[in-house]
Amino acid sequence: MMPKPWVPRAEIAFEVVKKTRKPADLVSVCVTVFNYERFLEDCLGSIAAQTHADLDLVIVDDHSTADDSLAAAVAWAKKHARRFYRVSVLTHARNQGPAAARNSAFEHAIGENVFIIDADNEIYPRCIARLYQAMRDGGFDAAYTQLEYFGDEKKIGSADIWDPVVIAEENYVDVMALIKKSGWAQVEGFSHIEEGWEDYDFWLKFIDAGLTPGYVPEILSRYRVHGTSRTRTDAHAAHEQLRAIMAYRHPRLPAGT
Amino acid sequence: MDGCLDQASGLFETAAGVFGLTGALPGISNAEDDDILVIAGSGLFDEAWYIAQNPDVARSGINPLIHYVQHGAAEGRVPFPGFNAARYVENLQGNERIRRNPLAHYILHGCADDLLAKGLLGQFSIPAIRLAMNRLAALPIFKAEDYLVLNEDARATGGIADVEPVNHALVQGFPEGRSVFMKTTVARALGAAAAKPFAPLPDVRAAPALPEIGVFYNAAGNAFIREIAEDIAASLAAAGQKVRVLTEESEIEGRPDLNIFVAPHEFFHIGRGRDWAREEILRDGFLYTTEQPQTLWFERAMPFVLMARAVIDIAPQVADIFGACGMPAAFFNPNVRPVTRWLEPGDLTHPLVRVLPKAARRVEIKPAKFADRHIEIAFFGTESEHREKFFAKNARQLAAYEAFLYYRKVESPLLAKGSHAALSRLAGHVAAHSKLMLNIHRDSNGFFEWHRIAKLGMVSGAVVVSEPCLPHPVFKPGVHYLEESGRHILNLMQWLLHDEDGQRHAQKIQNNANKAVRDADYAARNVNALLWFLADHWRPGAS
């Protein structure tokens, strides 16, 4: 990525690395936090409980101000440092949005494969191991599972086989996925989009680059639903605007609805 | 149609007496004169009602019948309650042009059925519509009042646009995708059918002499339907019957004399299949129905099923329901053969094959004992409210198992050809590597989903664990598969997978199911019964 001297780099607030050699199976797990102190313990706990042994945990606090997410992350990392090959807590000097937070985490990650998760979500214990197995044995550039929605709504997600034609029309793949760091670099990371849909844009860049994620048909990731914040009208208007943004950024993909 | 009514006889004797009309009338042509006499003689014209409906006629002092023939008919006025002249004229179009007053024509040549609404089934004849209506009315899952509750706009209002509910349901309800059957009525009928004992299959008789049979599926439809069509054909062929698997792309005129159309809800609805929705094809055709009666898919097929020669259903209870309406109906599940290889060479690069554990990618599959299988729980099925609840509730427990849960939300059917064709083969392949095949029903109607339970699960040696099902004549819960409510099914699966007694029990169930799907004597009787059903109801030389 082109360096941007004016963008403040993430600073390391806390880090512990084992002195042993980097394990071959090391998977980086990147947690991005913004004012989610109340969910942090559950999210990080679900990562510590993974059956996959070798983990590199990178927590990025995107300058939370409404709560003390950073202190909570550091405290948790100190307490559970022994579970991980390396644990790092990064912090942004000012709030930069989810795309930048994820990019900071990817840059810092030392695993070849990086799982990204927002701090309000959770994963079941077999999640990383199963995705890693699929990536390793299936030759994919990324891998994702079916989602369980929890919180204010209980249901199953819409994940399905990666199909560029269908995704170009509508996104059904959450970015809570294991992603090859080389793939992330090839598409130049996440792009900040003022109106949202950075996840969708990220997958469309995968399609543009000819990269292929794989779908693991098991329900191993949990997505927290927070009420319903926007009115239908607002959402629809934003939807139209975002459609246009996506069409402009990915003109070669078929027109969606 | 001529002679439906006998009113034409003796017209001239009575006509004069009715209205006191004598001799030729001034300003009236001979044709109109004739119409008036015919109508007057029939007694159908309701003079008092006509005047009440048309105050202008009353004020004018013109004889109402003369007014009707000279002006009223052309102006769309109604000669008596319920006579819909436009519908009558429309129904006769294609047969003949009506050159005279429609009521007079109706009196001389028509019959009550000529006033039926054809709605969206305009390509079919009145007798075909009448046959289908009679069958629909006699179906235990149909109640006119249910239909009116579900479709308030179909209630009679007293005008000529009124259509009898059973007529409305057939020609508008089904084709417009309305709900026709009420879920409680369907459930009650299924419950009653489920309580009946199964008649044992008769012993094998010498096979009847039948011509080559065409077994049709829609190539643009669901991949599972294609498998069922192929299995029906294979079952017939194994009994020495000449048979061909065909699709909607085949030449209609070159079709075999005896045909089975699998999954009419797809076959006659997708692409070129619509061209096959012809009266002469249905009249001689055997329709193999695969859908559950509480679904819109089932309703979508109904006009065609009700016009067919006979129906064969994948579920015994639904065959029983069809039988109650007087049409020839039979239950048939294809004979299944053990499969040792599901995937085709091209499937190995399919994304869902690539995510399988390596040990479960082996293409050539030897029958494996319960303990030697690599995937613990397999599920294949599309989205429904019932399944959504089940998976959302049990996600945490399911996450602990090596599973393959292909719960699909995309609306399009699995295509028989094209990118997702591999999915149906994949389902069999995964089942063959799985210990348990989970069956969660689409809704609270506990169908015995033959394709998933027998064709995919039992044939592949997976132990089927299902929510309670409607009874099946061969496969019994606790013997060939296991039943448990959704609330406790995770407990059952845990016992089977992790408890030694459970594992032994699972192996016993696998052995029983293996034996049942390989029962050659049953297979012979099963297909022989189908051949005799075809022979008993097929009309030679009809095509």
The nearest CA of chain B is from the CA of A203 a distance in Å of 17
Write out the two tokens for B310.
């006979």
Q: What does the pLDDT read at residue A247?
A: 80
Which among B355, B376, B379, B394 is the top mutation candidate for probing chain A, defined by the most A β-carbons within 10 Å of its own β-carbon?
Answer: B355
For residue B404, list chain A residues with Cβ-Cβ distance below 8 A: 217-218
For residue B399, list chain A residues with Cβ-Cβ distance below 8 A: 124-127, 218-220
Contact B352 A217 (CB under 8 A): yes
The nearest CA of chain A is from the CA of B350 a distance in Å of 10
For residue A148, list chain B residues with Cβ-Cβ distance below 8 A: 391-392, 395-396
Which one, of B257, B265, B262, lies nearest residue B283 by Cα? B257
Res. A58 pLDDT band, cuts 50 70 90: very high
Contact B354 A139 (CB under 8 A): yes
Which one, of B321, B331, B286, lies nearest residue B136 by Cα? B321
Written as one string, the DSSP assignment of B232-286 is HHHHHHHTT--EEEEETTS-STT--SEEEEE-HHHHTTSGGGGGG--HHHHHHPE
Return d(Cα A62, Cα B453) in angstroms, integer: 51
The nearest CA of chain B is from the CA of A52 a distance in Å of 14
Q: Are strands A86-91 and B482-483 parallel, antiparallel or unpaired?
A: unpaired
The answer, yes or no, to whether residue B39 has pLDDT greater than 60, is yes
Written as one string, the DSSP assignment of B475-511 is --BTTTBEE--TTTHHHHHHHHHH-HHHHHHHHHHHH
B355, B407, B409 member nearest A134 (Cβ): B355
Place of tokens 């030392």: A110
pLDDT tens-digit map of B215-232: 999 998 888 899 999 999
Return d(Cα B119, Cα B154) in angstroms, integer: 13
Q: What does the pLDDT read at residue B232?
A: 98
The answer, yes or no, to whether residue A136 has pLDDT greater than 90, is yes
Question: What phi and psi, each to the nearest 5 degrees, are found at residue B286?
Answer: -100, 125
Taking each helix axis as running N to C, give the angle between helix A198-208 and helix A97-108, from 0 to 180 degrees, rounded to the nearest 10: 60
C-alpha separations of B531 from A256, B286, B393, B476, B534 in Å: 50, 12, 46, 25, 5
Q: Which residues of B touch A (CB under 8 A)?
A: 351-352, 354-355, 357-358, 388, 391-393, 395-396, 398-400, 403-410, 419-420
pLDDT tens-digit map of B405-459: 999 886 554 444 445 668 888 999 999 999 999 999 998 888 999 999 998 999 9
Q: What does the pLDDT read at residue B12?
A: 36
Contact B399 A137 (CB under 8 A): no
Which among A156, A167, A169 is the top mutation candidate for probing chain B, defined by the most B β-carbons within 10 Å of its own β-carbon?
Answer: A156
Return d(Cα B273, Cα B258) in angstroms, integer: 17
128-157 in A: which are within 8 Å (CB) of B?
133-134, 137-140, 143, 146, 148-149, 154-156
Return d(Cα A55, Cα A50) in angstroms, integer: 9
Q: Which positions ≥6 away from A157 have C-beta within 8 Å? A: A146, A147, A148, A149, A172, A174, A223
Q: Are B329 and B335 spatial neighbours (Cβ–Cβ below 8 Å)?
A: no
Q: Are B217 and B262 spatial neighbours (Cβ–Cβ below 8 Å)?
A: yes
**Would you call A167 helix, strand, or coil by DSSP?**
helix
For residue B395, list chain A residues with Cβ-Cβ distance below 8 A: 124, 148, 156, 219, 222
Which one, of B251, B246, B274, B275, lies nearest residue B262 by Cα? B246
The answer, yes or no, to whether residue B524 has pLDDT greater than 60, is yes
Alpha helices in B276-356 (DSSP H): 279-284, 296-307, 316-323, 351-354
Contact A215 B404 (CB under 8 A): no
Sheet holding B375-382, edge to edge: B403-408, B375-382, B434-439, B463-466, B482-483
Q: What does the pLDDT read at residue B327?
A: 97
Strand partners, B434: B375
* Sign of the torsion angle spanned by Cα atoms A223, A225, A226, A228: positive
Contact B354 A138 (CB under 8 A): yes
Find, in chain B, the residue whose alpha carbon is nearest to that of A166: B410
Beta-carbon contacts below 8 Å between A and B? 79
pLDDT tens-digit map of A169-211: 888 999 999 999 999 999 999 988 777 788 899 999 999 999 9
Which one, of B87, B136, B139, lies nearest residue B113 by Cα? B87
The nearest CA of chain A is from the CA of B357 a distance in Å of 8
For residue A136, list chain B residues with Cβ-Cβ distance below 8 A: none
Q: Are B405 and A217 spatial neighbours (Cβ–Cβ below 8 Å)?
A: yes
B354, B393, B408 member nearest A160 (Cβ): B408
Return d(Cα B353, Cα B360) in angstroms, integer: 9
pLDDT tens-digit map of B89-138: 888 776 667 778 888 888 888 888 888 899 999 999 999 999 999 999 99
Contact A217 B404 (CB under 8 A): yes
Q: What is the pLDDT averaged over residues B194-213?
A: 94
A146, A149, A163 member nearest B405 (Cβ): A146
Amino acid identity for residue A76 in this structure: W
For residue A124, list chain B residues with Cβ-Cβ distance below 8 A: 395-396, 399-400
Q: Are B219 and B248 spatial neighbours (Cβ–Cβ below 8 Å)?
A: yes
For residue B409, list chain A residues with Cβ-Cβ distance below 8 A: 156, 158, 160, 172
Q: What does the pLDDT read at residue B413?
A: 47
pLDDT tens-digit map of B300-348: 999 999 999 999 999 999 999 999 999 999 999 999 888 889 999 888 8
Q: What does the pLDDT read at residue B419?
A: 52
Q: Are A180 and A142 spatial neighbours (Cβ–Cβ below 8 Å)?
A: yes
Return d(Cα B126, Cα B113) in angstroms, integer: 7
Q: Are strands B286-289 and B310-313 parallel, antiparallel or unpaired?
A: parallel
pLDDT tens-digit map of B361-396: 989 988 899 999 999 999 998 899 999 999 999 999
Return d(Cα A34, Cα A190) in angstroms, integer: 17
Q: What does the pLDDT read at residue B294?
A: 87
Return d(Cα B70, Cα B55) in angstroms, integer: 17
Q: Are B532 and B208 spatial neighbours (Cβ–Cβ below 8 Å)?
A: yes
Q: Are B218 and B225 spatial neighbours (Cβ–Cβ below 8 Å)?
A: yes
CB under 8 A, 24+ apart: contacts of A198-203: A198/A97, A198/A98, A198/A99, A199/A171, A199/A174, A199/A175, A200/A171, A200/A242, A200/A246, A201/A246, A201/A249, A201/A250, A202/A175, A203/A167, A203/A171, A203/A173, A203/A175
Which among A144, A146, A221 is the top mutation candidate for probing chain B, defined by the most B β-carbons within 10 Å of its own β-carbon?
Answer: A146
A133, A143, A219 member nearest B399 (Cβ): A219
Work out the mean pLDDT of chain B and round it to a whole number.
89
* Sign of the torsion angle spanned by Cα atoms B159, B161, B167, B172: negative
Contact of A161 with chain B, judged by CB distance below 8 Å, is answered with yes
For residue B420, list chain A residues with Cβ-Cβ distance below 8 A: 161
Tallying the residues shown for chain A, one arrives at: 257
Write out the two tokens for B402.
């090596």
Write out the two tokens for B263.
């999954």
pTM above 0.90, yes or no: no
For residue A212, list chain B residues with Cβ-Cβ distance below 8 A: 351
Return d(Cα B472, Cα B318) in angstroms, integer: 12
Return d(Cα B152, Cα B350) in angstroms, integer: 49
Q: Which positions ≥6 away from B77 have C-beta within 8 Å? A: B50, B53, B54, B68, B71
The nearest CA of chain A is from the CA of B402 a distance in Å of 8
The answer, yes or no, to whether residue B359 has pLDDT greater than 70, is yes
Q: Are strands A178-180 and A142-151 parallel, antiparallel or unpaired?
A: antiparallel
Percentage above 70 pLDDT, chain B:
91
Contact A217 B354 (CB under 8 A): no
Q: What does the pLDDT read at residue B323?
A: 96
Contact A137 B358 (CB under 8 A): yes
Return d(Cα B312, Cα B328) in angstroms, integer: 8
206-245 in A: which are within 8 Å (CB) of B?
212, 214-220, 222
Which among A121, A130, A147, A148 is the top mutation candidate for probing chain B, defined by the most B β-carbons within 10 Å of its own β-carbon?
Answer: A148
Question: What phi and psi, each to the nearest 5 degrees, are found at residue A209?
Answer: -85, 0
Least confident segment among B255-259, B263-267, B354-358: B354-358
Residue B118 or A166, more confident: B118
Contact A166 B393 (CB under 8 A): no
pLDDT tens-digit map of B491-517: 999 999 999 999 999 999 999 999 999
Q: Which positions ≥6 away from B412 have C-beta within 8 Å? A: none
The nearest CA of chain A is from the CA of B136 a distance in Å of 38
For residue A217, list chain B residues with Cβ-Cβ distance below 8 A: 352, 355, 403-407
Contact A163 B403 (CB under 8 A): no
Which one, of A158, A159, A250, lies nearest residue A213 by Cα? A159
**Would you call A256 helix, strand, or coil by DSSP?**
coil
Q: What does the pLDDT read at residue A244?
A: 79
Find, in chain B, the residue whose alpha carbon is nearest to that of A212: B351
Residue A199 or A26, more confident: A26
A125, A156, A161 member nearest B407 (Cβ): A156
Find, in chain A, the residue whose alpha carbon is nearest to that of B360: A137
Q: What does the pLDDT read at residue B503?
A: 98
